A = this chain, B = another copy of it.
Amino acid sequence: MTLDAPPTAASPLAIICGGGSLPRAVAEAVDRTGRRCVLFAIRGWAEPAAVAAFPHHWIDLGRYGRFRRLMQAEGCRDVVFIGSVLRPSVSHIRLDWETIRVLPDVWRAFHGGDNHLLSGVGRVLGGHGYRLIGAHEVAPDILVPEGPLGRLAPSPRDMADITLALELLRATSPYDVGQGTVVADRHVLALEAAEGTDRMLDRVADLRQQGRIRTKPGVGVLVKAAKVGQDHRFDLPTIGPKTVEGVARAELAGLAVVAGATIMAEPQEIVRKANAAGVFAVGVRSPQP
């Protein structure tokens, strides 16, 4: 924690933490703006190391009453939800009374994809006077800017692959599929669904090793884009150093994401790894009208 930044008048920010390193990155970025954070680490999802450096509470899914009391005690009004989530196994959740009261709303949210699930959580929080805001609103420097992040930039062929990939992701968007694809010389090599980006990249690396990909190493792009109409408050695509490693292992030219609508974890590490591996990482404009 930096102690030299002046505290703002605002109430402390509640950060509900899912898995991965993003909660910590967001907390650090908010901390740099001088605002106090309180982390609510979801048991089973959040990583102890990601929350240890900040004031934090461990919370359980299904214990909404306890969460509300902690929020009150901490004086929090604004809530950010960040980190990876897994669809919970319903049989492992023990419910408290307040949760049972809000359950019908949450239950409706369970049907449909991730987007709907989190929208439901947002509705419940909003109905109780909390303001669910996006991580990018409190820590704008975690968003990928436009242009290359590292030393390398995409070639015209890469740009053609990126354009095709963004069109494809737009076409699959209404079906709540994943947010990533790999396109090489205008061939779609992989489309992401439940497996996630890292496994999709592993698959491309495997296919390449097995000689099932005929485009040369160094050709092809990973492209990630938010779903059309996606609520930016809790479900932006994310890249991190691991993404760059996956791109390098799959022997692609680089990765492209939508500038201003993608979160980056550990930007310095992204740049360092991209430069070391000879791949580009670029923020591009959204093709949306």
Contacts and interface: CB of A to CB of B under 8 A. Distances in A.
Interface in A96-124: 111-113
Interface string A160-173: 00001001100110
Contact of A172 (B171, B187, B199): B171
Given A167-B175, A171-B172, A194-B212, A186 B112 contact: yes
Select the residue from A111, A164, A187, A211 with max chain B CB neighbours within 10 A: A187
Contact of A191 (B164, B191, B214): B191
A177 B168 contact: yes
A86 B194 contact: no
Give the interface centre of A86, A182, A191, A207 by most chain B CB atoms within 10 Å.
Answer: A191
Interface string A24-40: 00000000000000000
Given A168-B172, A211-B89, A193 B191 contact: yes
B175 A168 contact: yes
Given A189-B193, A211-B89, A164 B168 contact: no
Interface in A148-190: 164, 167-168, 171-172, 174-178, 181-182, 186-190
Max count, chain B CB within 10 A of own CB: residue among A86, A89, A214 = A214
A133 interface: no
Contacts of A138: none
A49 B88 CA distance: 48
Contacts of A178: 191
Interface of A: 86-89, 111-113, 164, 167-168, 171-172, 174-178, 181-182, 186-195, 199, 203-204, 207, 211-214
30 contacts: A86-B212, A86-B214, A88-B214, A112-B186, A113-B187, A164-B175, A167-B175, A168-B172, A168-B175, A171-B171, A171-B172, A171-B174, A172-B172, A175-B188, A176-B187, A176-B188, A178-B191, A181-B193, A182-B193, A187-B194, A188-B194, A189-B193, A190-B193, A194-B204, A194-B207, A194-B212, A194-B213, A195-B203, A195-B207, A203-B203
Given A86-B211, A171-B172, 19 more contacts: A86-B212, A86-B214, A89-B211, A111-B186, A172-B172, A172-B191, A175-B188, A176-B187, A176-B188, A178-B191, A187-B194, A188-B193, A189-B193, A189-B194, A190-B193, A190-B195, A191-B192, A194-B213, A195-B212
